[in-house]
Amino acid sequence: AELAVARGSMAPPADAPAGEAAAAAPPRISAGRRAWRGVLVAGLVGGVLLVADGVLTIAWQEPVTAFLQDRAQTGLGDDLQALEDEFAAAPAVARETERRRMRRQASALLRNRDPGEALGRLEIPRMGLRSVVVQSTQAGALRKGPGHYAGTVLPGMAGTVGIAGHRTTYGAPFRDIDDLRRGSEIRLRMPYGTFTYKVASTRITTPDDASSLRSRAGSDRLVLTACHPLYSAAKRIVVTATLQRSAPPGAATPS
């Protein structure tokens, strides 16, 4: 009897009646019931994770794809540094003005970048954004970061620079794009120079309206686009900014 107590009454005393012994024995669970219980537990855990994922997406951004983009951005940062070193080591052209140098190097960069490769770094203080921009707005490219619209120019070339970004997935770089106001500053740090823009306007358009991306004579602009509103692709939000100044690599610019 003492042994039974020491073991937490998992076994009945030796002199206990047979019926009492049977009642005290732990119930056996069939393999089928154990498997079904495992399925239920897995389902409950999965449901909790899905709810948590949804809550995080609504409150901030989708966490799984955010992790994937964060990892991609780390690699892109290394690639961009190598690109900057390459441009810095390029020989100067005699009697070439700074403006012509930027235009020449911007054209060369645009010709030689494949979809998904690093182009430069986009900085928007009001949004707390500092992200590597990649070439192309194809789905695979946008998973890495904000993407440059094919068919638009790069900073340093006359015309419109177009960039798109996600708002809820893959790091959600443009989640707070609707927080930008007239006069908000935007910087594009390219391997050949830094370009500073100020927001001029924000408008909502249909997804098939590409008029804002067209270049206009005598107007150096930056256009940012994203789905609108949040969690919907029904519309597009378009932010247009105008070029204020440009500076060569290494020149002091606001951080």
Q: What is the pLDDT of residues 221-233, one digit of tens each?
A: 999 999 999 999 9
Give me the mean pLDDT over the 150-156 stretch.
97
Examine the residue annotation and report whether 166 is marked as an active-site residue of this protein. Answer: yes
| DSSP alpha helix (H) spans, the chain | 2-6, 18-24, 31-59, 63-89, 98-112, 139-142
Residue of 217 and 150 predicted with greater confidence: 150
What is the rounded CA–CA span in Å between residue 226 and residue 180?
13
Let me know if residue 105 belongs to a domain: yes
| CATH code at position 182 | 2.40.260.10
Range of the domain at 119: 60-247
Residue of 195 and 11 predicted with greater confidence: 195
Let me know if residue 113 belongs to a domain: yes
pLDDT for residue 170: 95
Give me the mean pLDDT over the 133-148 stretch.
97
Domain count, the chain: 1
Let me know if residue 200 belongs to a domain: yes
Under DSSP, the state recorded for 93 is P
Q: How far is CA 18 from the centre of its chain?
A: 68
pLDDT, tens only, 74-128:
999 999 999 999 999 999 898 899 999 999 999 999 999 999 999 999 999 999 9
3-state helix, strand, coil in the chain (%, to 5): 40, 25, 40
State yes or no: pLDDT of 161 exceeds 70: yes
Examine the residue annotation and report whether 227 is marked as an active-site residue of this protein. Answer: yes
Closest CA to 249 of 81, 111, 74, 73: 81
Q: Which of 119, 153, 227, 241 is catalytic?
A: 227
Q: Which of 148, 166, 228, 236 is catalytic?
A: 166
pLDDT, tens only, 16-66:
444 444 444 555 656 666 655 554 554 444 443 333 344 444 445 688 988
pLDDT for residue 49: 34
pLDDT, tens only, 164-215:
999 999 999 999 999 999 999 999 999 999 999 999 999 999 999 999 999 9
Let me know if residue 36 belongs to a domain: no
Instruction: Give the count of beta carbons closer than 10 Å to the beta carbon of residue 192.
Output: 26
pLDDT for residue 30: 64
